[in-house]
Amino acid sequence: MEELRKRLLWPSDDEAERAFTTYKNYLLHVNKGLGGVYGVGRSMVPSIVTEVRSSRKYRAIQRRKLTSAQQDLITKALTIAWAKELQLRIPSAFDPQLLPYLIQGSGHLAYYAVFHGARALFVSAGQAFSASHASALAVLSTWVKDRKLFPAPWSVYCEGGPDRNSMSIDGLPRYATLSGDVHPLGNPSPETVWDSPQMFLGTTRDRQIKERKEVWRKETGRKRVPSAEATRICRDLPATTVFSILWRLRKRSDYIDADTFLEGVDSEMGAQLFNDSIARLVHATMVVFESIIVAYIGYDAYGEAADRFLRKATGPGGEAVQERKIAVLGP
């Protein structure tokens, strides 16, 4: 490791650094919000479990009898999700000086951990969906908007368009306060923990709309999108959620602007904060999913899947699964 560190040069690019700082600050705001609502350290997971179970919608869930094939699908989906989470946490175990070169895949791993966790959730609930990212994200949007099983910040969603002024934010908790004064490059603060996610949802939806307009232009050969067509595009676009944000990070780190997560990393501390924040968001999201999964399939089926994974997986990822298992099932 020491020899590798000596051979690496620190890359730098102003535009990439601004982009990385923007993503990092969004995640830090979410992280601060999670800490403010659910606590930090070991108190977070039990607090989220309690919050999920306190909702009327959760208490109305009916236990489902699974077929062996369904149980196998759930176990496999959870195992993949947990393995991706373990991989996401591995970079933090390396020399901090190497971390800036190891987080380029963080967005990819975070998204796939949540994607496969969602697959397990859907099978548990008997939710129909096709095995595609678009389908999974659309179904998750429906769960956020209509099922009301997810607590904040997963409950928050953005609708409308095509311009930012015609977008609306819903699903904010009653205790959320908005200062109306946040800048993507500004230092995260407790006063802007809800402003920043609101901005992130808005900019993410703006990108989604632009992508759909571009598809329409290519299909029609026309340069200008009529206002009626733009309205239809926005009407048909599912609500933009935290899960849409994770998909955005996955796309941008994979192939749209992958350099952001290498050339744009501002410091070892910046890399550490980014990786820790996205890992914590995945951890918290899986708490929500796993709490609801247990309501549908029972303690034994979930416990067997977790025990099977934990017999093989050790280290940071395994510790996260163990922490959730204890909170969901009891010690």
Q: pLDDT tens digits, residue range 109-145? A: 999 999 999 999 999 999 988 889 999 999 999 999 9
| Cis status, amide bond into 153, omega within 30 of 0 | yes
Q: Provide mean pLDDT across the span 278-301.
A: 97
Work out the pLDDT band at 4, boundaries 50, 70, 90: very low
CA distance 134 to 41: 34
For residue 164, is it within any domain?
no
For residue 210, is it within any domain?
no
pLDDT for 98 equals 80
CB of 85 closer than 8 Å to CB of 282: yes
pLDDT for 5 equals 45
* Average pLDDT score, the chain: 90
Name the residue among 283, 284, 264, 315 with its Cα closest to residue 92.
315
For residue 211, is it within any domain?
no
Question: Range of 102's domain?
Answer: 19-155+243-329
For residue 87, is it within any domain?
yes
Name the residue among 274, 292, 263, 195 with its Cα closest to residue 11.
263
pLDDT for 112 equals 97
Torsion sign (Cα): 10, 16, 18, 19: negative
3-state secondary structure 147-200: HCCCCCCCCCEEEECCCHHHEEEECCCCCCCCCCCCCCCCCCCHHHCCHHHHHH
CB of 92 closer than 8 Å to CB of 272: yes
For residue 191, is it within any domain?
no
**Chain-centroid distance, C-alpha 103:** 16
For residue 160, is it within any domain?
no
pLDDT for 184 equals 83
For residue 212, is it within any domain?
no
CA distance 317 to 313: 7
- What phi and psi, each to the nearest 5 degrees, are found at residue 239? -55, 140
pLDDT for 330 equals 79
**Total tally of structural domains belonging to the chain:** 1
For residue 207, is it within any domain?
no
Q: Which of 182-186, 288-292, 325-329 has the lowest mean pLDDT?
A: 182-186
Work out the pLDDT band at 179, boundaries 50, 70, 90: confident
Q: pLDDT tens digits, residue range 39-87? A: 988 899 999 999 999 999 999 999 999 999 999 999 999 999 999 999 9
The pTM of the full predicted model, rounded to 2 decimals, is: 0.93
